Copies of this chain bind each other. A is one copy, B any other.
């Protein structure tokens, strides 16, 4: 058990880092197995296809990211301060990735949305669920800020969609320009989108 689950995890780790680096379409199963250091037979023991692997990578990444988002957005701090933490941590995460690999990896979900959404409905649906969940998490904090009178927006969910879109757009530019400073205006942009007055 120890060894097999280890091989599955090695494949997932290698696939995620290769997908972040070069996308999904360009990857071959042989290459993933080589990077993972496992025989090719192992791959088909754990995964039916490259698509099944992509879904597993997406699910694992979202499980970790959702935990991070929930942690950052929870707590007793004022809602906008918690939202601000989310952007600061996103920038810090991209910066750490750039220091490690030399390139800004961007958002795995955004990358796959543009690369795959018109190619596989299964991946498209999973990514839609993930972005819906991101919007829900942000909308809950915006709704708290509404109650406190910290923001002027009336539709918390629409505002949360704009905030997540802004995040994806700026992360795209951080990747294109290979520069994480592109993410620094995120908080000011978010405040503007929410109609928030002060800087919490």
In the complex, how many angstroms separate the beta carbon of A144 from the nearest chain B beta carbon?
A: 19
Please, which residues of chain B bring their CB within 8 A of the CB of A169? 164-170, 172
CB contact under 8 A between A176 and B25, given known A189-B162, A195-B192: no
Minimal Cβ-Cβ distance residue in B for A132 = B177
A23: CB under 8 A from chain B? Answer: yes
A78: CB under 8 A from chain B? Answer: no
**How many Å lie between the Cα of A119 and that of B175 in the bound state?**
12
In the complex, how many angstroms separate the beta carbon of A157 from the nearest chain B beta carbon?
A: 11
**How many Å lie between the Cα of A176 and that of B22 in the bound state?**
20
Query: How many positions in chain A have a CB within 8 Å of any CB in the partner chain?
Result: 43
Contact B178 A117 (CB under 8 A): yes
Contact A128 B176 (CB under 8 A): yes
- The one of B118, B162, B177, B182 in contact with A175, judged by C-beta atoms closer than 8 angstroms, is B118
**How many Å lie between the Cα of A56 and that of B25 in the bound state?**
22
Minimal Cβ-Cβ distance residue in B for A162 = B189
A66: CB under 8 A from chain B? Answer: no
Contact A175 B114 (CB under 8 A): yes
Mark contacts of A105-137 with chain B using CB atoms, 8 A cut-off: 1 yes-contact digit, 0 otherwise. 110001101110111000010011001000000
**How many Å lie between the Cα of A103 and that of B116 in the bound state?**
12
Interface residues of A (CB under 8 A from B): 21-23, 25-26, 103, 105-106, 110-111, 113-115, 117-119, 124, 127-128, 131, 158, 161-162, 164-170, 172-173, 175-178, 182, 185, 189, 192-195
